[in-house]
A and B are shown apart, each in its own frame.
Chain A
Amino acid sequence: MSRDDAALEAFRQEIRAWLPEVCPASLRPDASGAAPTAEERKAWLDAFAQRGYTTPTWPKEYGGGGLSKHEVRVLNEEVTRFGVFPPGVSFFGTAMLGPVLLEFGNEAQKQEHLRKITSGEINWCQGYSEPGAGSDLAGLQTRAVRDGDHYIINGSKIWTTGANHADWMFCLVRTDPDAPKHDGISFILFDLRVPGVTISPIKLISGESDFCQVFFEDVRARAENLVGPLNGGWTIAKRLLQHERQMLSGGMPGGAPMAVPRKKGKKAEVPRPTSALAERAREYLGDSDGTLAEPVLRDRIAQYELDTLCFGLALKRSGEEAKAGHGAGAATSMFKLYASEANKRRAEIQMSVRGASGLGWEGEGFSANELMETRGWLRSKGNSIEGGTSEVQKNVIAKRVLGLPD
């Protein structure tokens, strides 16, 4: 065993001893009885946050875990082995704002904000799209005008996920209306719980309201929270979008699998491959000799599963190429595009499989799962719009990867 391996093994043993010490009984895999309370969930979060494990790779000086990639892998493995989901912290802070603050923020900004992301104290939301600036994001019109130690913000943001539950917003604002559109944008952070902010949830076709429109009327933001250079926000905006797309493709079918806790005592063996989609289809369509009864739908499911398998391998290969020092690889630009289109395809197949059982909106006559899947089908239509439409992604691939002319 090399010195590195020995240190990693010691880390593993330490984590293995630590998890049962801090995990509330109600969250444990062998828990029976009452569901965990809010206090217990908070205790679990605090245990992770105190060690910086909610943002494990961030430097310790900003509250992060200061872990190497190998240590993060071990941490994840041990959490999975213990059989508990890690505490959840909003990814707007951990996966999007945090990384750009580490790269572009000044010392004071890092000190003020990063710890509160790690601890889950502050929930962030993303002020990007506007009613008049969707795919043409750089056409945004929300104005920020300097007034002493503050900027005065006027305008509106739309499709702001979770703004009604958020404490702060990272926001793109126009600070120079006369400059070419990309050169007059700044990236600023401000508290949403101030006068002049109005947040209106938007009811979607799925009946849910996970997006909001946010209106600003003379909202005052502290000037010291402008990140990066004045009018230099576009570079930061793009970098943050890269983090966002990476994250969006990771959580989609075929993406990096979520750590699913395994029942204790179960031997690790190579399971026989199955398809959750096909198993669900079997309930509705039936089969003959193990083959789904509806051959055309079966072929659609097979194509979907096959493509998802290939997509997962493309993600794996891209990660390995990055690790081998070949750079992130051209393939990363397709992940968000492919994952969101695949997710829509999956939802369409589910609708075909379920027939009229997929048409229920609420109430009696449908299982909870059916109602949820129907809403999910509607919600999936947004996958290829949010975070950059599929058409914008294709423009990016054509330009940046294939080098096709404007």
Chain B
Amino acid sequence: MSLVLTEEQSLLKETAAEFVQEKAPVAHLRELRDRQDATGFSRSLWKEMAELGWSGILLPEEHGGSDLGLAELGVVLEECGRTLAPYPFLSTAVLGASAIALGGSAAQQQAILPGVCAGETLLALAFQEKPRFAPYDIATQAKATADGYALSGEKVFVLDGHVADHLIVAARTSGAAGDRAGLTLFLVDPAASGVGVTRTSMVDSRNAARIRLENVAVSSDRVLGEADAGADLLDAVIERGTVALSAELLGLIHEVFDRTVTYLKERQQFGVPIGSFQALKHRAADMFCEVELSHSIVLDALRAVDEERPHRERIVSAAKARCSDTAGLVTREGLQMHGGIGMTDEEEIGLFLKRAKAAELTLGDGTYHRDRFARLTGF
């Protein structure tokens, strides 16, 4: 598939850009943060986004979705990345919705997905247990009981876990932490007895939770997909999440780079714009190269997953590694080039730096994905 946007995708990009710039600019995130909003985003605005078809963008029409691909979702997320819009795309529209769409029974899909498409139902994927991303490092136990399972364990960094209507919990039905085999995904009601949800306050002002499970009773019909073979589903879900997050990072990268170049032209010192200094010009040119590379790999990775292309896993890892590292570069350099003002809470560049770091460490950073890329390339 071509790396040039189709007419429909260009139109979607325009719509998304207008929408988020008007309704969810960076000031929106700041306002939510400053009033310590209990949700962390506006539910009514999420419903508006749902009406535009965005919450169900990957879901089939029979559930009220738009039945589009990651290429289209990526276009929307890129615009959200430009304004740091803190909306539950990753948790609900990508990770949660994909887990149910790819692994759920007809009954499970029918029960949950229409609510997702309507912008009413929120989802959270609870798999991570260690501070660094390691998808199979899961110790949470699911012990077989008379009519189902009893789940015990502790999950960290559960995105939007504090407001989710359904938790999708990865637990171990056999094997040991680190094994790919023996995982099972469960639909868990956060209000069920034994579930403890604690919101954590994160550096990027986004939402995550710690979730404690103590002998939580889950009936057999709440298993998502096949017992013991949950890693296949988890991989597919995380793959979608990884490219989606790369697309959000790409938007952030462009925004920070654009703002920095603008600042270099405006800010005067020694009677001239600081952008006339070669020390800064050359660093800006270096960043430009990385931005272009990041842009190209993200477009290809989104399409590779849409097309279910062979060996796409390494393209996905390349995209996340490249974008994580480029986002780090442009936010660090962007802050430095803004000088003292860049260190203030008032200037927005710092908010981008914080989000870049959080997104970098979500679903695997550059180091993680380079290692995976190497393995998938046969070394």
Q: Are B296 and A404 in contact (CB under 8 A)?
A: no
| B211 contacts A by Cβ under 8 Å | no
Task: Give the residues in chain B near A404, CB-CB below 8 Å.
Answer: 261, 264-265, 273, 275-276, 280-281, 284
Task: Give the residues in chain A near B284, CB-CB below 8 Å.
Answer: 397-398, 402, 404
| A291 contacts B by Cβ under 8 Å | yes
Task: Give the residues in chain A near B296, CB-CB below 8 Å.
Answer: 310, 313-314, 316-317, 331
Q: Are A275 and B282 in contact (CB under 8 A)?
A: no
Chain B's interface size range is: 35 or more
| A395 contacts B by Cβ under 8 Å | yes
Q: Which of A306, A326, A398, A401 contacts B322 (CB 8 A)?
A: A306
Q: Are A331 and B292 in contact (CB under 8 A)?
A: yes
How would residues 359 to 401 of chain A score, 1 for a CB under 8 Å from any chain B CB and 0 otherwise? Answer: 0000000000000000000000000000000010111011001
A302-B374 Cα distance, complex, nearest whole Å: 5
Interface centre among B285, B286, B310, B322, by most chain A C-beta atoms within 10 angstroms, is B285
Q: Are A278 and B299 in contact (CB under 8 A)?
A: no
Q: Which of A272, A310, A320, A321 contacts B378 (CB 8 A)?
A: A272
Q: Are B4 and A299 in contact (CB under 8 A)?
A: no
Closest to A319 in B: B3
Per the 8 Å Cβ criterion, residues 285-321 of B in contact with A are: 285-286, 288-289, 292-297, 299-300, 310-311, 314-315, 318, 321
Task: Give the residues in chain A near B275, CB-CB below 8 Å.
Answer: 398, 404-405
Task: Give the residues in chain B near A287, CB-CB below 8 Å.
Answer: 379
How would residues 279 to 319 of chain A score, 1 for a CB under 8 Å from any chain B CB and 0 otherwise? Answer: 10110000100111000001101110111011101101100
CB distance from A322 to the nearest CB of B (A): 10
Q: Are B293 and A310 in contact (CB under 8 A)?
A: yes
A298-B280 Cα distance, complex, nearest whole Å: 32
CB distance from A396 to the nearest CB of B (A): 8
Q: Are B318 and A310 in contact (CB under 8 A)?
A: yes
| B375 contacts A by Cβ under 8 Å | yes
Per DSSP, chain A at the interface is helix
A405-B265 contact, Cβ under 8 Å, with A313-B3, A313-B297, A394-B285 = yes
| B44 contacts A by Cβ under 8 Å | no
A12-B314 Cα distance, complex, nearest whole Å: 35
Q: Are B281 and A398 in contact (CB under 8 A)?
A: yes
| A334 contacts B by Cβ under 8 Å | yes
Q: Are B377 and A305 in contact (CB under 8 A)?
A: yes
CB distance from A112 to the nearest CB of B (A): 41
Q: Are A290 and B379 in contact (CB under 8 A)?
A: yes
| A195 contacts B by Cβ under 8 Å | no
Task: Give the residues in chain B near A395, CB-CB below 8 Å.
Answer: 278, 281-282, 285
How would residues 205 to 235 of chain A score, 1 for a CB under 8 Å from any chain B CB and 0 otherwise? Answer: 0000000000000000000000000000000
Closest to B282 in A: A394
Task: Give the residues in chain A near B377, CB-CB below 8 Å.
Answer: 273-275, 278, 302, 305
Q: Which of B261, B281, B285, B370 contacts A299 (CB 8 A)?
A: B370
Per DSSP, chain B at the interface is helix
| A338 contacts B by Cβ under 8 Å | yes
Q: Are B370 and A317 in contact (CB under 8 A)?
A: no
Q: Are B374 and A298 in contact (CB under 8 A)?
A: yes
Q: Are B299 and A317 in contact (CB under 8 A)?
A: yes
| A14 contacts B by Cβ under 8 Å | no
A316-B282 Cα distance, complex, nearest whole Å: 25
Q: Are A403 and B265 in contact (CB under 8 A)?
A: yes
Interface centre among B272, B300, B376, by most chain A C-beta atoms within 10 angstroms, is B300
Per the 8 Å Cβ criterion, residues 308-358 of A in contact with B are: 309-311, 313-314, 316-317, 320-321, 324, 326, 330-331, 334, 337-338
Q: Are B288 and A334 in contact (CB under 8 A)?
A: yes
Q: Are A273 and B285 in contact (CB under 8 A)?
A: no
Closest to B378 in A: A274
Q: Are B310 and A270 in contact (CB under 8 A)?
A: yes
CB distance from A267 to the nearest CB of B (A): 14
Q: Are B378 and A306 in contact (CB under 8 A)?
A: no
Interface centre among B280, B296, B375, by most chain A C-beta atoms within 10 angstroms, is B296
A398-B378 contact, Cβ under 8 Å, with A307-B293, A316-B3, A338-B289 = no
Q: Are B374 and A290 in contact (CB under 8 A)?
A: no
| B61 contacts A by Cβ under 8 Å | no
A321-B265 contact, Cβ under 8 Å, with A306-B373, A310-B293 = no
Q: Which of B286, B292, B294 contacts A394 (CB 8 A)?
A: B286
A290-B377 Cα distance, complex, nearest whole Å: 10
| A406 contacts B by Cβ under 8 Å | yes
Task: Give the residues in chain A near B264, CB-CB below 8 Å.
Answer: 404
Task: Give the residues in chain A near B374, CB-CB below 8 Å.
Answer: 278, 291-292, 298-299, 301-302, 305
Closest to A309 in B: B318
Q: Are A314 and B261 in contact (CB under 8 A)?
A: no
Q: Are B293 and A314 in contact (CB under 8 A)?
A: yes
CB distance from A333 to the nearest CB of B (A): 8
Q: Which of B285, B293, B378 contacts A402 (CB 8 A)?
A: B285
A282-B288 Cα distance, complex, nearest whole Å: 34
Q: Are A397 and B292 in contact (CB under 8 A)?
A: no
A242-B295 Cα distance, complex, nearest whole Å: 23
CB distance from A378 to the nearest CB of B (A): 25
Q: Are A306 and B318 in contact (CB under 8 A)?
A: yes
A338-B293 Cα distance, complex, nearest whole Å: 10
CB distance from B8 to the nearest CB of A (A): 14
A305-B315 Cα distance, complex, nearest whole Å: 11
| B2 contacts A by Cβ under 8 Å | yes
A327-B370 Cα distance, complex, nearest whole Å: 33
| B14 contacts A by Cβ under 8 Å | no
Q: Are A290 and B261 in contact (CB under 8 A)?
A: no
Q: Are A398 and B318 in contact (CB under 8 A)?
A: no
Closest to A404 in B: B275
A310-B318 Cα distance, complex, nearest whole Å: 8
Cβ-closest 6 pairs across A and B: A278-B379, A398-B281, A394-B285, A313-B296, A310-B293, A317-B3
Given contacts A321-B3, A404-B261, 13 further A-B contacts (CB under 8 A): A272-B378, A274-B377, A275-B378, A275-B379, A298-B379, A302-B374, A313-B296, A324-B4, A330-B292, A334-B292, A338-B289, A394-B285, A405-B275
Instruction: List, sorted by A's number, 20 A–B pairs whose CB atoms are closer than 8 Å.
Output: A275-B377, A282-B379, A301-B374, A302-B377, A302-B379, A306-B318, A306-B370, A307-B293, A313-B297, A314-B296, A317-B3, A317-B296, A324-B4, A337-B285, A338-B293, A394-B281, A394-B282, A394-B286, A397-B288, A398-B282
